[in-house]
């Protein structure tokens, strides 16, 4: 089906921050085939014409770091230090999690993301086959990785075999919407030799890497005490860092660490909400962006955030950088919008989306700017970043297909998802 979005503010998220007022976007066969002013004759070329007066069209958000199935643990363990939270609360519950639990929890996360305007995301966890099924059902775009960690050589090798099976079965599945990466959890759950092995396997199958790096002061201190180098230097020595690597967090970093990230063209997934809640610190995002490092934006899992709201993450990201740098011009609107869209698409390897431009894949969202908090109308981009709510998203289009219309997700059974997650959460917590 071809589709024309007309009479709308088109936020392109291009490098110049272009907005086309009273503009139009044409979509045919899932590809954007027109961007510009509205011409009277154009409506005849498209199967469906949507008059979006009072609304804005922009690229869908890309959530560069998440653990979808961990939505099952939302609001369960709060106000705790990271290692205490992980080892005493989360890891014990994960032993009770079944693959069907993971499917429904992932479905809940995907439902929430779509409702908030996210069209693509990156995931690292277990039972990823079930998450892949939920992604395919939803129409979402995703990069999935089976989390690799463990205490025994046999267990670690088994997880690599699981990751390879996931790659064989799901890489480029869902009409090309799913990519599979290898996902070593961190330097504190994987030995240096194991990290080298993962890097070698990733090179052999030509996959990307997802990893947590330098999230907390304790992580960095323990790594230096044990190995004589920072987590980023250790990951680099293991061969894990390159332009296909997504490094989540990178909060506690020095100049040498950042130079490595720049030199190896690593993509950093910044998670300001999670970093604040766990008191991990404030990543030096302004410094890294000034260096030319690609910074994408993520929410982390809902168990440590506690939502998957990319509008909230954009606002948090820009506020934090302004405060820490004592510079109100730090991380301006256009920059943070690109972090949440095209930078994320680049990090995930979806180079044909993230910007509204002729020839790009049509992953778009429509935001209702007729709400009171958008008035008076001075600058629609500023209004979205500083005033908007995720509930303002009315339509979500992925691959040119309408996935959500007027707030209703068409591909998922919301009532069933909520029912299944609640009853399963009660069993796990009992």
- Domain layout of the chain by residue ranges: 3-59+353-409, 61-348
Both tokens of 33, joined, read 């085939």
Distance separating alpha carbons of residues 169 and 48, to the nearest angstrom:
35
Q: What pLDDT is stored for residue 91 in this prediction? A: 86
Residue 227: helix, strand or coil by DSSP? helix
Average pLDDT on 95-101 reads: 96
Both tokens of 221, joined, read 């201190």
Average pLDDT on 69-82 reads: 91
Distance separating alpha carbons of residues 1 and 6, to the nearest angstrom:
16
Range name among 154-158, 302-306, 421-425 with the lowest pLDDT average = 154-158
- CATH number, domain 61-348, options 3.20.20.140, 3.30.1490.20, 1.20.1580.10, 3.40.630.10: 3.20.20.140
- Residue the block writes with tokens 């995930």: 348
Specify burial of residue 322 (Cβ count, 10 A radius: 0-12, 13-18, 19+): middle
Contact between residue 149 and residue 185 where contact means Cβ atoms under 8 Å apart: yes
- Residue the block writes with tokens 């922009």: 58
Backbone dihedral angles phi then psi of residue 391, each to the nearest 5 degrees? -70, -10
Distance separating alpha carbons of residues 341 and 13, to the nearest angstrom:
8
- Residue the block writes with tokens 């009171």: 372
Please determine, for residue 42, whether its predicted confidence score (pLDDT) is greater than 80: no
Backbone dihedral angles phi then psi of residue 28, each to the nearest 5 degrees? -135, 130
Q: How far is CA 424 from the centre of its chain?
A: 25
pLDDT classification of 81: cutoffs 50, 70, 90: confident
Q: What pLDDT is stored for residue 414 in this prediction? A: 98
Question: Counting every residue, how long is the chain?
Answer: 430
Distance separating alpha carbons of residues 77 and 335, to the nearest angstrom:
33
**Topology match between the domains 3-59+353-409 and 61-348:** no
| Closest residue by Cα to residue 246 from 335, 174, 105, 144 | 144
Give the CA radius of gyration of the chain. Answer: 21
Q: What is the DSSP string of 230-243?
A: -HHHHHHHTT--ST
List the Cα angle 110/415/127 in 5-degree steps: 40
Please determine, for residue 156, whether its predicted confidence score (pLDDT) is greater than 80: no
Q: What pLDDT is stored for residue 281 in this prediction? A: 97
For domain 3-59+353-409, the CATH superfamily is Urease, subunit C, domain 1 (2.30.40.10)
Q: What is the DSSP string of 247-314?
A: EEE--S--HHHHHHHHHTTPEEEE-HHHHHHTT-----HHHHHHHT-EEEE----GGGSS---HHHHH
Distance separating alpha carbons of residues 31 and 301, to the nearest angstrom:
31
Q: Which residues contact 297 (CB under 8 A, 6 or more apart)?
A: 61, 62, 63, 64, 269, 270, 271, 272, 310, 313, 314, 317, 336, 339, 340, 343, 344
Q: Which long-range contacts (CB under 8 A, 24 or more apart) does 38-46 make?
A: 38/6, 38/7, 42/4, 42/6, 43/4, 43/6, 45/2, 45/4, 46/2, 46/3, 46/4
Backbone dihedral angles phi then psi of residue 272, each to the nearest 5 degrees? -65, -40
Contact between residue 43 and residue 329 where contact means Cβ atoms under 8 Å apart: no
Both tokens of 97, joined, read 């999690």
Range name among 42-46, 105-109, 306-310, 367-371 with the lowest pLDDT average = 42-46
Distance separating alpha carbons of residues 392 and 19, to the nearest angstrom:
19
Q: Which residues contact 23 (CB under 8 A, 6 or more apart)?
A: 8, 9, 10, 35, 36, 37, 38, 57
Please determine, for residue 155, whether its predicted confidence score (pLDDT) is greater than 80: no
pLDDT classification of 152: cutoffs 50, 70, 90: low
Q: What is the pLDDT of residues 168-180, one digit of tens each?
A: 999 999 999 999 9
| Closest residue by Cα to residue 65 from 215, 226, 265 | 215
Q: What is the pLDDT of residues 314-356, one digit of tens each?
A: 999 999 999 999 999 999 999 999 999 999 999 999 999 999 9
Contact between residue 358 and residue 24 where contact means Cβ atoms under 8 Å apart: no
Q: What pLDDT is stored for residue 239 in this prediction? A: 98
């Amino acid at each position: 089906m071809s589709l024309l979005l007309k009479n709308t503010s088109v936020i392109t998220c291009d490098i110049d921050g272009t907005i086309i007022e009273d503009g139009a976007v044409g979509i045919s066969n899932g590809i954007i085939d027109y961007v510009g002013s509205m011409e009277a004759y154009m409506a005849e070329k498209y199967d469906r014409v949507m008059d979006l007066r009072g609304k804005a069209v922009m690229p869908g958000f890309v959530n560069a770091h998440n653990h979808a199935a961990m939505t099952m643990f939302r609001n369960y363990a709060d106000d705790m230090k990271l290692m205490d939270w992980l080892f005493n609360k989360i890891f014990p519950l994960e032993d009770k999690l079944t693959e069907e639990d993971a499917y429904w929890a992932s479905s809940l996360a995907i439902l929430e993301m779509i409702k908030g305007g996210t069209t693509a995301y990156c995931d690292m966890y277990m039972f990823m086959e079930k998450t892949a099924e939920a992604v395919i059902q939803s129409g979402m775009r995703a990069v999935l990785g089976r989390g690799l960690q463990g205490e025994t050589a046999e267990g670690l090798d088994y997880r690599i075999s699981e990751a390879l099976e996931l790659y064989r079965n799901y890489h480029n599945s869902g009409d090309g919407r799913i990519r599979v990466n290898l996902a070593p959890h961190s330097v504190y759950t994987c030995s240096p030799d194991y990290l080298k092995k993962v890097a070698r396997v990733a090179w052999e199958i030509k996959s990307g890497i997802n990893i947590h790096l330098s999230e907390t002061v304790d992580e960095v201190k323990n790594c230096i005490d044990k190995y004589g180098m920072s987590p980023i230097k250790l990951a680099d020595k293991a061969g894990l860092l390159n332009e296909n690597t997504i490094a989540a967090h990178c909060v506690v970093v020095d100049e040498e660490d950042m130079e490595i990230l720049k030199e190896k063209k690593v993509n950093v997934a910044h998670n300001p909400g999670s970093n604040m809640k766990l008191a991990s610190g404030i990543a030096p995002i302004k410094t890294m962006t000034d260096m030319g490092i690609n910074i994408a934006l993520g929410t982390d899992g809902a168990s440590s955030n506690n939502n998957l709201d990319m509008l909230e993450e954009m606002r948090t990201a820009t506020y934090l950088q302004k405060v820490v740098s004592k510079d109100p011009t730090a991380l301006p609107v256009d920059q943070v919008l690109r972090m949440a869209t095209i930078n994320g698409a680049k990090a995930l390897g979806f180079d044909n989306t993230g910007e509204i431009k002729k020839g790009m894949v049509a992953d778009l969202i429509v935001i209702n700017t007729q709400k009171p908090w958008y008035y008076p109308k001075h600058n629609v981009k500023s209004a979205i970043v500083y005033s908007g709510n995720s509930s303002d998203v009315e339509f979500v289009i992925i691959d040119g297909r309408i996935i959500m219309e007027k707030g209703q997700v068409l591909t998922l059974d919301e009532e069933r998802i909520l029912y299944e997650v609640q009853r399963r959460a009660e069993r796990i917590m009992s």
